[in-house]
């Protein structure tokens, strides 16, 4: 298969879905304007964007996996473990920079382990990631006897507290990371091949794409993203918990699917995943703003996931119908 054909195979599924994130955000905007005025206050919006910025690296890593038709249920455990390792090193007078590097390397190591299990040993992603979920969660508990690591250096909190022109650096970083990730996945050949492999792994393999290598790269980057999320959260609270991020996997998958991704692979983009994460974070925030118990947050996210999955075929059919009508009207 020549380069042009491979490129078309890789980009075909990128716009094949009709994301529900946009309509849901519109509904939230209406609710904010008419019923929950404080929901759209600058302070609350900043809180929502802070939440998005903290979880964004893990979500973008998950989106890469979903493009290949894979997923990682251990991202929450990886984020917690990376934060614990970095936190413990800092409490032992290790430089925050070295501790951060160690935490990121731990995340990549976990991702590479899963990647080898899935790509080389052909272990089903569900089994591989569930196994690593148990292993990494136990290691997080063992590292500090199940206790929270507190009292991290104030200099480590610079990541979450720094501002540029009054805007939190973390939020600016989220916008830059989303834009850079979207550009890379569209322009860099290696990442365009993710879509080719996700649409049809066998055809991509016959075209010369090394699918196992892409799987290994995707899981390594997903582990790196999960670790970065863990470190950002640790910077926000100046502490690290072994039981944090228990719902990160479902939130990340929900965000990606709401943003146009698919478990079948070959669909979705980084901007869509970021917008989907905004929907998830806004949903959790809206539950609190309405005075509803936080215990209902998981229910709200679960409903969002069901809406995205059940609405996907109908939304795609509607999109295709509009495209057909438009083409018929063209001179």
pLDDT in tens, 47-59: 999 999 999 999 9
* Cβ atoms 209, 202 nearer than 8 A: no
> What is the enclosing helix (H) or strand (E) of 44?
helix 42-67
Total length of the chain = 331
What does the alpha-carbon distance between residue 102 and residue 145 come to, in Å, rounded to a whole number?
20
* Region 114-136 average pLDDT: 95
pLDDT of residue 313: 53
* Cβ atoms 248, 79 nearer than 8 A: yes
What does the alpha-carbon distance between residue 84 and residue 91 come to, in Å, rounded to a whole number?
10
- Among 24, 29, 27, 51, CA closest to 40: 29
| Number of other CB atoms surrounding residue 274 within 10 Å | 26
* Region 75-84 average pLDDT: 96
Alpha carbon separation from 181 to 178, 230, 252, 269, 272 (Å, rounded): 5, 19, 16, 9, 11
- pLDDT above 90 for 33: no
Instruction: Identify the burial level of 126 via C-beta atoms within 10 angstroms of its C-beta, where 0-12 means exposed, 13-18 middle and 19 or more buried.
Output: exposed
What does the alpha-carbon distance between residue 262 and residue 258 come to, in Å, rounded to a whole number?
9
* Cβ atoms 207, 196 nearer than 8 A: yes
3-class DSSP state for residue 320?
helix
3-class DSSP state for residue 168?
strand
* Region 10-37 average pLDDT: 69
What does the alpha-carbon distance between residue 275 and residue 25 come to, in Å, rounded to a whole number?
9
Main-chain dihedrals φ then ψ at residue 283, nearest 5 degrees:
-65, -50
Domains, in order of start, for the chain: 3-325 (1.10.3470)
DSSP state of 240: B
Confidence of residue 8 (pLDDT cuts 50, 70, 90): very low
* Cβ atoms 9, 204 nearer than 8 A: yes
The two three-digit tokens of residue 206, written as one number: 């016959």
> What's the pTM value of the predicted model, to 2 decimals?
0.87
What does the alpha-carbon distance between residue 207 and residue 218 come to, in Å, rounded to a whole number?
20
The share of the chain scoring above pLDDT 70, in percent, equals 88
Confidence of residue 167 (pLDDT cuts 50, 70, 90): confident
What does the alpha-carbon distance between residue 32 and residue 304 come to, in Å, rounded to a whole number?
18
> What is the enclosing helix (H) or strand (E) of 163?
strand 163-164
């Amino acid at each position: 298969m020549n380069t042009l054909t491979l490129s078309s195979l890789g980009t075909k599924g990128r716009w094949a879905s009709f994301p529900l994130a946009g309509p849901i955000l519109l509904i939230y905007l209406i609710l904010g304007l008419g019923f929950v005025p404080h929901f759209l206050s600058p302070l609350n919006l900043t809180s929502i964007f802070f939440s998005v910025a903290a979880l964004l690296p893990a979500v973008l890593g998950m989106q890469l996996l979903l493009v290949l038709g894979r997923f990682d249920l251990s991202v929450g455990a990886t984020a917690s473990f990376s934060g614990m390792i970095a936190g413990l090193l800092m409490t032992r007078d290790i430089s925050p920079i070295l501790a951060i590097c160690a935490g990121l390397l731990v995340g990549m190591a976990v991702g590479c382990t899963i990647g080898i299990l899935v790509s080389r040993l052909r272990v089903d992603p569900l089994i591989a990631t569930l196994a690593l979920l148990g292993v990494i969660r136990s290691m997080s508990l063992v590292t500090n006897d199940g206790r929270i690591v507190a009292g991290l250096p104030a200099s480590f909190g610079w990541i979450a507290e720094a501002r540029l022109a009054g805007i939190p650096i973390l939020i600016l970083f989220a916008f830059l990371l989303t834009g850079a990730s979207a550009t890379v996945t569209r322009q860099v050949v290696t990442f365009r091949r993710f879509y080719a492999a996700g649409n049809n792994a066998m055809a991509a393999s016959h075209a010369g794409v090394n699918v196992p290598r892409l799987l290994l790269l995707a899981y390594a980057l997903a582990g790196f993203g999960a670790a970065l999320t863990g470190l950002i959260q640790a910077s926000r609270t100046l502490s690290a918990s072994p039981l944090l991020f228990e719902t990160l996997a479902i939130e990340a998958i929900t965000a990606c699917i709401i943003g146009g991704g698919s478990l079948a692979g070959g669909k979705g983009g980084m901007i869509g995943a970021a917008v989907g994460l905004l929907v998830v974070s806004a949903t959790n925030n809206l539950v609190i703003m309405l005075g509803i118990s936080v215990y209902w947050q998981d229910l709200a996210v679960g409903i969002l996931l069901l809406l995205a999955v059940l609405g996907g075929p109908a939304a795609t059919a509607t999109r295709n119908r509009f495209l057909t009508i438009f083409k018929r009207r063209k001179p």
